[in-house]
Structure 1
Amino acid sequence: MRNRKGFTMIELMITIAILATLTVLTAQSITQAIKAKGKLQDQIDDVSRMRDAMRLVERDINLAYHYRDLEKEMEQILKKKNSTNNGNPATPGIIPDPNQDPNNRREVPRRDPETHFVGTGESLNLVTMNNARTTRNTAQADFIEVGYAVKDCKNLRNESASSKCLWRRSTPYVDLDVTKGGDEVVLLENVSEFKLRYMGKGKQDWVTDWRTDAQGDGATKGKFPQAVEVSLTVEKKEKGKSKKYSMQAIVPIHFPNNPEEAANAQGNQSSWPQPSGPTQ
């Protein structure tokens, strides 16, 4: 019996204490890793939602639709040329005005459609071609009226709390007032900044107002901007801490379709060398 060896009570207590310490440290490390993963996932989700909202804004601006009534413009050109002729015989190459022909009059008066671009430093309203057809053979136009503005909204996770949200308004009915009508949806929560600036011909620098309607100035009336600068900031507060994410983008309009641009394009096209006949 004296030759048998084993662990004493003190050795067992020390071993148990070491194992308990290792278990506590391992549990704390796992808990911290889970919390860190949750925070990182929240940041990824916040940035992803912000990026998705910015992409939608960029897409709407990229495909801004500026309708021009070419038939009406041709009629105005013909009237000017006819007035300069002062009753002289028709000049070769000039197309007669269809409205002056009694056999070719419209039964219903033509109502000229208008598409406007109205932007301020904190809101934007325009007509865009960013209109997806969700149902096959649906009777709908290829363009819609959209608007962006920051207003109050309730928090989705906590209905008792409210924050500033980026709202997107859309309607398939395009009318003379591009700033009203349609349904609004929340695009992004906790928005602390939504700034817009515009650049186009006739302006020496970025401006915070651009109107193509009757309230616009000489440089913007009837003319779309060439680019829009969008600044978006989201500030999220949790447990006394604040997290801020910011994005900025300069978004060009693919086809402003302004009168002077069409004239320049025609001039450049007329100056191009004309193709000759086939050679052998």
Structure 2
Amino acid sequence: MPNSRRGFTLIEVLITIAILGTMTVLVAQSIQQSVKMKNKVTTQVDDVSHLRDAVRLIQKDINLAYHYRDVEKELTDLLAKKNQGGQPGFVNPVNPGGFGPPGVGGQPSAFEQQQQNREVPRKNPETHFVGNEESLNFVTMNNARTVRNSPQADFIEVGYELKECKSLSEGGGSSKCIWRRSAPVADLDVTKGGNETVLLENVSEFKFRYMGKGKQDWVSAWRTDQGGDGATKGKFPQAVELSITMQKKEAGKDRKYSMQVIIPIHFTNNPDDTSTGQATQGGAQNPQGQGFN
């Protein structure tokens, strides 16, 4: 009786091994491409997240830009002008400048007496908004109290600027970075002081533009100090346009991520925006009387 059992021939075994080898190579390539795609997507998500976080912080700072106005001085100056408006007997020799209501019969007023009795003469603080296309410096209310009962004001001085920094990622090198400067004390020169930290790396474009009353279109500079013009001196803009572009090299290709936002200032507190009484109710006074130098 012939033997009915037979095995695989050598050719069949070789064909099977070739098929299995081909499938293994294809599966390995597919897994490798999936891993590369995952890493690529993760990197892009991280880059976009970093960009959004930076824009969100800048947006919050600008939203809460703090414009201090000495409403008490405005009221007393206004009262002094009305009292001296052609009516005899109201010229105050003690305070010819008119700061504070004049007293009766040439005597110092209660306000003037209070000023004279101060151990330290009152110095009116100023909060400026100084910006151009590549940098911006101002005072903002975006300040969180991290230590309980710490003696600090509700506002800080912040500044943004684009300049070189060393990369912390693998490969090192350097790139253009957005630096954020913060200072707990607001002084007359809002462009200096404080500590700087890197907010965003690999930035190829960082641009500001400004819009406010007295300007027909977006402008590339805004100064509320002595360097400003008639439309900007002592007045904050109503909105700021921010444009940021990140540019990174990945696998020999340049990848760009761009964002452009228009950021309104919630409370500009400009003299022509509200009356003096409304400004007082709106919080124009110094919240804690601290933080100025």
In the superposition, the TM-score normalised over structure 1's length comes to: 0.89
Shift in Å, 1:118: 0.3
Secondary structure (helix, strand or coil) at the match of 2:154 reads coil
CA distance in 2, matches of 1:205, 1:144: 29
Secondary structure (helix, strand or coil) at the match of 2:169 reads coil
Shift in Å, 1:240: 2.4
CA distance in 2, matches of 1:80, 1:180: 37
Partner in structure 2 of residue 59 of structure 1: 60
Matching of residue 245 in structure 1 with residue 246 in structure 2: no
Matches within 5 A, 1:62-101: 62-88=63-89, 96-97=101-102, 100-101=109-110
Shift in Å, 1:262: 1.1
Secondary structure (helix, strand or coil) at the match of 2:274 reads helix
Could you list the runs of 4 or more consecutive aligned residues of structure 1 that deviate by over 3 angstroms after TM superposition? Answer: 95-106
Shift in Å, 1:239: 3.8
Secondary structure (helix, strand or coil) at the match of 1:248 reads strand
Partner in structure 2 of residue 33 of structure 1: 34
Q: Which amino acid aligns with 1:132?
A: A
Task: Give the alignment partner of residue 178 of structure 1, picking from 190, 201, 206.
Answer: 190
CA distance in 2, matches of 1:100, 1:81: 16
Q: Which amino acid aligns with 1:21?
A: T
Partner in structure 2 of residue 276 of structure 1: none
Q: Percent identity?
A: 64
Partner in structure 1 of residue 9 of structure 2: 8
Assess if the C-alpha contact under 8 Å between 1:233 and 1:246 holds in 2. Answer: yes
Shift in Å, 1:97: 4.5
Return the structure number with greater relative CO, CA threshold 8 A, min gap 6.
Answer: 2
Matches within 5 A, 1:68-217: 68-88=69-89, 96-97=101-102, 100-101=109-110, 103-104=113-114, 105-107=116-118, 108-158=120-170, 160-217=172-229
- Relative to structure 1, is the Cα distance of residues 35 and 145 closer, same or farther in structure 2, using a 3 angstrom cutoff? same
- Relative to structure 1, is the Cα distance of residues 188 and 23 closer, same or farther in structure 2, using a 3 angstrom cutoff? same
- Relative to structure 1, is the Cα distance of residues 171 and 264 closer, same or farther in structure 2, using a 3 angstrom cutoff? closer
Shift in Å, 1:106: 3.6
Secondary structure (helix, strand or coil) at the match of 2:165 reads strand
Partner in structure 2 of residue 275 of structure 1: none
Over the residues paired in the alignment, what is the CA RMSD in angstroms? Answer: 2.1
Segment of structure 1 superposing worse, 131-140 or 58-67: 131-140
CA distance in 2, matches of 1:164, 1:103: 56
CA distance in 1, matches of 2:121, 2:102: 16
Partner in structure 1 of residue 291 of structure 2: none
Q: Which amino acid aligns with 2:163?
A: K
Partner in structure 1 of residue 25 of structure 2: 24
Secondary structure (helix, strand or coil) at the match of 2:272 reads helix
Assess if the C-alpha contact under 8 Å between 2:76 and 2:101 holds in 1. Answer: no
In the superposition, the TM-score normalised over structure 2's length comes to: 0.85
